[in-house]
Structure 1
């Protein structure tokens, strides 16, 4: 008898909102041309899974042994769109797998070694509407016609099949996965149909039998290294709807001499056309592809000043990367996007004026621009990438507009001269290492919408005198305030549940920290090196236990008695309802004492809501009503 197990899970992580640009619409996904994870690994029953930045779910690992698995269309209202690399690898009991139409991506070797895969006949293998793989031996001069109804070709599906010479793609196909036809060196003829939107990374890598390609008008994204090494390719017309050409997309296509670039493109990646005849024929200086400033070619003279011509809509990835002789650049009011690493390591630029036409700035755009001392980001900018001003050691002043809601990973890391910064009230996320090593930063405000102080966010902020943690913060991450040597006093709000590993290590001036009962976990070495510290907290709390175990001075706080606060954590919420129900049912503490000390008159009266001298289900009902009234 076969066992059937349906994939069910509750997703516990919030989703990142998609960024939308004006004029040319560019989403958070299309800045990179790929979808990435925005959650840590989550577990439910036999599954590990993640949330992707487009708000959908990827199954990472199946840990069960069922012979039949059925994956639903949605999990907690979010589409399941992807099955990760080796997700079901070597699950030898798996005989049947059913996937929904929402799944458009299946990773490398996701079902290799399963009974299901071993039982498939040679040839094209399908899962739902996804062409998962080609199985078995492929003989020379093979012509593949992909059947209508197929929506995507998975990663590595035909990779390395030297016998493949011709492929016909139907209009139903939307996506060609990473390395799908990589190293198919005999492939000479590929017929695309209108409907294809996404050509994945290395999709046709080293297909040096290709000489001519006509891409359909529906294509919007050409991935990193998509046609790299197609050395016989002579010409390419990029369709008008393409927004992104990825890094090294046509690199080393040495015979590619004719490239037609539409005006819609906002992002051309690093070395996208390096090693092509087209690039080799360009004159030294600024090189343009359509309206994108693709890069600077040749040796840049000392003390160079660049004026980018009006009409340019984008500065490409790595366009001026490592141009240490560049001292001044004028960006026109037509530019909408400044690409990744666009001015990386331009060590002699001392000022940058970003026009109000710019809506997005890519990762590491100004990293290691060590002479920049002042930056104003205009209100038009809605997205700033990771590490954008990292290691800008002369940066003293930065203006962040109200349009920014997310300060990403490492945004200002090692900005050693930054003293003050005003973070807009609308910011809801401050990423890991955002202010790491800002040793002269004295004051900073954390907006009320921020829910987590992440790993090493303020690590090494040696001059930080005080900081207020907002009431919505639930977690203080590992190393969050390590080496904040000027911090004297801190109050942890009642919302915080966890203080991470070495979170306040070497905060040598820290004298007092108030830790509420809401904190249920303080990890190892959280306060190592805080030699003069006194922890203020409540009796029998995690804070008191941590202080005793680590020989830290402890001062007991007097608990506030709040009506309905059954668990005495100074917050009245649904947890108090559960706590009261458990007490009435006779549950005990770990020391075998009742959950609620009914001999304490003040505590007892705070939960005896009907004032009848006993705790029962009527008090539970009144507590539920109290919480509901407080929410209104």
Structure 2
């Protein structure tokens, strides 16, 4: 009579048997050995083998209760993957659980309290959508990537021995309401650690924590969170979409960096107190929050683009003590509809795109070295802008575009170039143009409210480009640059109030439709000109 000591790989794979009797002589079982969708009864409690191999109970759909051998040390990779087993009794001898061991299984509860497991590997309990309760090993040191992600656990107690938590360990545990731990060895909350735990209402961060990773607590249900003094860095999107978070304070915290979108879309966050150690605040960090005012500490070196955009009740922000901040990045205060007051940093030298668009700011006075396109565009409430003491040389494209109430503008004395659409749809009626102006662009003065434009001091301008003054219906008089040589096509098209224009002696070319629909321009004196190129279309349109 033979003694059976081993069950090989796939031995009972998809076997149409409801019950299998296993002899006590078995010392080893193979991969997929019991992966059968019909198996209902199986008792391994008296076996002496010490490894549940990879895929052993993979996709078992009828087996509900299982007693493991009492000397098991290792549970293999995907051993219970997609298994419908609801109850598994874990022997105290278990030391290793491989990745995805219970992943997507139907187990209801697990107790590892008497084991000496030190590491829970990647995704061990991931997508255990019925797992309501688990007791962790008392000697647990490490929880790996995605270990409990998408599981149904409501409460979790972490042992004091824990030293490391890896990325996404508790991600999208949407039923998790409470997590208990008293640990002081963890330095980092990793990326996505509690991301999407939408029922988690509170958490006490260990005093040892120095960094909070990207998306660590995104979409959690916190109303308030207390940060440990040891905290130095908060990663990108760490508290994004925490829609119940009302206040945060970094007072007394040694934090250096708040990452991009850190509190973005935390839609009722109304109170923020920054510490005097913060140096970096990332892009969109406080976007779409309910903060009404903020004092920026003197330690700040950088604030990213869109940081405060769409903060619709932000009324005042104070940079008084900020000496090191030199740039306002793109859309920094974009669509802050209630923002009336900015106390600017003393050493601000750069303004990016759409920084102040759709705010309630009425007056601006700045000393800048550089501006980007659209720098002051869509400031629909601004009335005065004073940049006279600035030193930049280019008024960028769309710089004052649609400043619908702007009635006073002082530009730097250093301006050499004015780019396209710079003043488009601005109601300003007067501007000083100086002798260092070299270049104007197409549409530069189009659709503006200027009545008189005097270029008599601009001796370096040789060309008026296409559409430069198009649609400026209030324009009556233009004094052209003294050394002008070329007026391009449609330059003064539809300047319907233009009455007088004097041409400089050096003018040699006038383009197509240049004075088209200038209905009040009754005569043009070209008697002193030596014009080599004069478009007949230009003359006909004026005559008609």
TM-score of the two chains, using structure 1 as the length reference: 0.42
Larger Rg: 2
Larger helix percent: 1
